[in-house]
Structures are given as structure tokens and as C-alpha cells.
Chain A
Amino acid sequence: MSRRFRRSALIGSGLATVLVAGTVLVACSPGTSGDSNVAVTGAYIPLPATPGGMAAGYLTVQNIGSGADQLVKVSSPGAKSVTMHRSTDTTMEEVGALPVAAHGKLLLERGGNHLMIMGWTKAPAVGDVLELDLTFARGRTISVQAPVKPLTYRPGS
């Protein structure tokens, strides 16, 4: 019987896990309970391959709060347009919002979610710093100073 019980308990927990995963995926929106508490780290901009041309922006959003949030807008006083994109195997697409799970991280990194920065007020050079203003669905706006790094810069290198 204990064996049977364990089996059904396992199935139960598996089912619960799947259910939770399913809920998060389907929701794709901030939860209504718990506070979000987001911080932005590791922001950088690789020098555009075409001088003054479009650039990518990468950063990490960490949410130490118990409520989910979403990054809904990014802007900069130094660039006309900052949009959020997601790279896929074959193309990239603009996204309106990027979810930040409760106690989770949102990674904007090469080959995945990233910012697309265009219309520079001044053509960027390595060592310059661009202000990025990140607006979250739960109301918070965070400004970070993103350094312009060499084109082939990789975090941690």
C-alpha cells in the first residue's frame, strides 16, 4: 500500500508541477499577489558594427519580490528608439512585454531577448555610457547607465 501511495503521490506532485508551469505560461502576465522588487544589473551595449548604427542592449533584471512583474517599456534620452526583441532560430520579433517571474530573473542576452537601440543622439564610442530607463508593469521605473563595450565583448571576459 505504501508503494501504491507513493506512486499516486508522485503522480500528484508531477501533476501539480505541470499545472503550475502551465499556469505561468498561459498567464504571461504579472501576478496579482505579492510585491515585485526588481533590480537591473550587468547592462551593456556592444559597439554597433556600423558606426552610429543600430545596437543591441543586454542586461539582467532580477526580481527578489514575491510578485511577478513585466518589463513593458525601455527608453533612453540618448536614442530615439529602444525596442524589445526576441531572437529565434531564424528571425527576431518585437515583443511588447517581457515577464519577470517572482523570485526570478529576466535575461536579455545575446541570441535571446535583447534591446534594439536606434537613432543615437551621438554616435556611440567604446567607453560611452547610455542611460536606459526601464518601465515595469507594476509601476516602477529604473534608470541604468549602460556602458558601450567593444563589438565582440562578452560578459565575464
Chain B
Amino acid sequence: MARSTTPRLLGAAALVLAAALSLTACGSSSGGSGGNSDGSVTVTKESSNSPYQGTLLTNHFDKPDLVMNDTSGQPFDLRKQTAGHPTLLFFGYTSCPDVCPTTMGDIGVAMSKLSPEDQKKIDVVFVSTDPARDTPKVLRTWLDSFGKSVVGLTGDLEKVKAAAKPLGIMVEDPVVNKDGTVTSTHGAQVLAFLPSDDKAHLLYLSNSSVDTYAHDLALLAKGVPA
């Protein structure tokens, strides 16, 4: 019996493999969705130990040393100007109908549920991965839909890439398609930096809910350790 089951099991394994392979073929490009410099991700879920609902990072990234113009045309020093503030950081672009506005919308709605005092404590920073089209004006108009206080940075894409890479966020050159649409490849995760050490402790994937953000932003505003 054992003799006859082994080849069957092997056969099943082969089919599973084939199914997995065709899934990849029918699916999409996978990519570094965040973590290490090699594109792999180091995250762990220790929900029992953390009051936060976001994914806990085991590697507490420093805030990137990024100085770029904000949407008013003034230089914005990310490290200096957000020092000691809970900070959310997201890389995206405005010619993106689904993930970018959805993520920013969730954050905007969650922020609006906080008291005005708590809202002021949290910095939300959006960095454009498509600076050629995201002019300060275009970006400001887009961001205003989510919150007037959201900081928008746009400028040198090389700087953006350099800032994103150590955070495990892949940013590639945008591609202009034949029909004029733009596709930008960028890690869609949001990083949350704690005010205590200005390091990233939490990560939110693009399927995070408004409730998750609302829950965690209330804790972030109070500087609750992750």
C-alpha cells in the first residue's frame, strides 16, 4: 500500500506545484512589499503583546533623511520637522485610482475621528513616486481631498528612491502607457513612526481598514509604545 501511495502523493505534489506556477503566471508581478534592503520583509505579528492593530516591525527603521520641497514650494526636512511627532509615511502617486486614494482616504477618515488636539499631534506625509506629473499644485489639490494638513513632498525621484529603499519600500521609475495613463510601481505600505524614538514600529498594508487606522492613530497620538 505504501508503495502505491507514494507515487500518488508525488503526483499530487506535482499538480499542486503546477497549480501554484500557473497562479503566478496568471497573476501579477510580485515585488518587495517591504522590509529589508534586499526587498524581503521582516515583520511579525505579536498582537498579544501590542495594543496596536498594525503589523509590528521587528526592524525599527530610522526616518529617512529626506529633504524635499513640499506643496508650497518650501523645503521640508522630514527628520527635523517631524521629530518627536507620531508620523505616518506613504509613497504613492496621484494618477492612481485605487490603492493610493483608498489608503489616503482611510487615513483621512481615521484622522477625522480623532479630537482636533490629537489630529494636530500626528504628521501624515505623502511622498510622490511620480514627480514628473505630480507637480506641487497637482499634488496639493489631490491631497486636499484627504486633509489639508497632509504634507505632500514631490521633486527628485532619485531622492525618493533612496529614502524608500532602506524602509523596504520599492519605488521604480513610472511608466507612461500607450493610452497616456501612468503606472508607478511603489510599495503600498504605510509606515508609522513613534514619537518616542522617531523610528518606524508599525506597518499597514493596503488592505488595512479605517477602523484599524482609527484605533491605532488614537494610540499613536498619545505616544503609546508599540
List chain A positions with a Cβ less than 8 A from chain B: 4, 7-8, 11-12, 14-15, 18-19, 21-22, 25-26, 28, 46-51, 53-56, 81, 83, 85-94, 110-111, 114, 116-118, 151-152, 154
Contact = CB atoms under 8 A, between A and B. Distances in A.
A92 B98 contact: yes
A28 B24 CA distance: 12
Interface of B: 1, 4-5, 8-9, 11-12, 15-16, 18-19, 22-23, 26-33, 94-99, 101-102, 104-106, 108-109, 138, 141-142, 145-146, 170, 177, 179, 181, 183-188, 205-207, 210
Nearest to B97: A56
B150 to A, nearest CB: 11
Given A15-B8, A110-B98, 14 more contacts: A8-B4, A11-B5, A15-B12, A18-B12, A26-B18, A49-B101, A56-B98, A56-B101, A83-B179, A89-B188, A93-B183, A111-B206, A116-B97, A152-B105
A49 B142 contact: yes
Contact of A111 (B29, B98, B104): B98
A48 to B, nearest CB: 8
B205 to A, nearest CB: 8
Contact of A21 (B19, B97, B183, B187): B19
Nearest to A45: B97
B210 A22 contact: no
A90 B108 contact: no
Contact of A25 (B12, B22, B105, B145): B22
Given A49-B142, A90-B170, A152-B108, A22 B15 contact: yes
Given A11-B5, A15-B8, A15-B12, A93 B29 contact: yes
A151 B99 CA distance: 12
Contacts of A15: 8, 11-12, 15
B23 A25 contact: yes
Contacts of A51: 141
